[in-house]
Structure 1
């Protein structure tokens, strides 16, 4: 509910400011201040694109979660990219369960990326084929050693020391398997990827 309320507030604010932005840009163009107009519109355009990317599914709660995580990523200097190629019409679980999956994996990725001094990147891909909905969340954080990967979904196991309770990924795995899905993690020096595959609703 909090994510939905924040998302609604963002949309209302963007709509309210739209006319003001157009007036400022028009005035700058009239004054032939073209570089100033470009400088002004660039952050406005990026904000509009970010909101548009988070609005692509049929599940408002999922859209709101994506918007919230985009904002968290931005505050932490993480370049988070969304590739949404499914409207989730055939999602075989309640949206809040899907949000728990997405949220926990993204939060882990943000934590990992915050350990890097710069060049922080995350890609969230949501797609579907004839049978399944696929979620792939990858980042360019440090490689996860094999001895950690084999334990990463165990309840109580955490790589965050005192900052984690070891429940997030255990919860994700439990939800995924409850709906006959699978989750796999792969990691190397270039990318760490969590892939979730969920059967579609029949």
Structure 2
């Protein structure tokens, strides 16, 4: 937060110098407070519309860009007011554009690295669960066989019901799925159960059949389910009721359709208007960067898909259509 405030403060001061120098080209004597007011309005607009985390670039890169911007200022001292003043002003803007583009790229890479570590942990956990269940399967069969021999039918049925419930949880996530996709589905399912959220996977065919790379499928499903779970948790805390999350997937007329529904607290219209289009927009409270929704949008756009979403009666629904073309 400190670096964030320092950044906007420095940019504002540099902007005032450049704008005031340009205003000197006019025939009127314009006081500096006019330049300050103009820059403050512009900075406030970009503060609301621009996603930037300067700390991601590190001190060295930010320091280099700042030095480059400071080296532009002596031009205003050496040269008398003329249209040459446009050159340092435009260079100042170009440097800021470079800073923002690099910041976004670094933020994406950091998020991707974080997701990769989470996905690897999910995959390892799913693999461990499957191995554990396979290892214990014969023991369970022997236990049930012993109960039946002793004519303990009620106990055997209860034991079998409990066993099937456990296998059902794993099977919901892994049937027909590739390893990484199964891992993310299984982890999200367990995370929902631990939070007391009712979750339903209604998949006509494996998500792994989507015409996307494994990495893109995990990015899409991981962010979609993670955002939905966070919204359900906040809704539960607000209403003291069990939230519901459902994920549907099927294929119709050459299109893959993915529908995710979840309970959600009211979402401000200002956020809904550009939720899946820009960085920094998030429905969550607390310190969240709003990267997930933009990553979902980028994956769908890359494959010429369609995304629609609606919030109605405390339910948020995302509908995604992706052409069945590889």
TM-score for both structures, normalised by structure 1: 0.88
Find the counterpart in structure 2 of residue 80 from structure 1: 199
* 1:124 CA displacement: 0.8
Aligned to 1:187: 311
2:248 is the counterpart of 1:125: yes
C-alpha contact (below 8 Å) 2:232/2:264 kept by paired residues: yes
Count of residues paired in the alignment: 202
Matched, 1:170 2:324: no
Q: Distance in 2 between matches of 1:144 and 1:158?
A: 9
After TM superposition, the structure 1 = structure 2 runs for residues 17-28 of structure 1, keeping only pairs within 5 Å, are: 17-28=136-147
Alignment-derived partner of residue 14 in structure 1: 133
Equivalent in the alignment of 1:201: 325
Q: Which residue of 2 aligns with 1:100?
A: 219
Structure showing the higher strand proportion among its residues: 1
Q: Secondary structure at the match of 1:54?
A: helix
Q: Give structure 2 stretches of 5+ with no counterpart.
A: 1-119
Contact 2:254-2:323 within 8 A present in 1 as well: yes
CA distance in 2, matches of 1:183, 1:133: 12
Instruction: Please list the CA deviations of residues 37-92 of structure 1 after superposition, one character each: whole Å capped at 9, or x if unmatched.
Output: 34333332112112222233453322222111111111111111111112457532
- SS of 2:174 mapped into structure 1: coil
State the shift of 1:145 in Å. Answer: 4.6
Structure 1 vs Structure 2 CA RMSD: 2.1
1:134 to 233, 249, 257: 257
CA distance in 2, matches of 1:70, 1:175: 23
Residue 308 of structure 2 aligns to a residue whose secondary structure is strand
Shift of 1:138: 0.8
CA distance in 2, matches of 1:184, 1:8: 34
Please give the TM-score of this superposition, normalised by the length of structure 2. 0.57
Change (3 A) 1:89 1:6: closer
- CA 1:84–1:156 in 2, change beyond 3 Å: closer, same or farther? same
Shift of 1:172: 0.7
SS at match of 2:175: coil
Give structure 1 stretches of 5+ with no counterpart. Answer: none
Task: Select 1:111's aligned residue among 227, 230, 235.
Answer: 230
Go from structure 1 to structure 2 and tell me whether the alpha carbon gap of 1:122 and 1:39 turns closer, same or farther (over 3 Å shift): same
Which residue in the other structure is 2:47 paired with? none
Contact 2:267 2:283 survives alignment (8 Å) = no
Structure with the greater alpha carbon radius of gyration: 2
| Greater relative contact order (CA < 8 Å, ≥ 6 in sequence) | 1
**Displacement of 1:190 after TM fit?**
5.3
The aligned residue for residue 161 of structure 1 is: 285
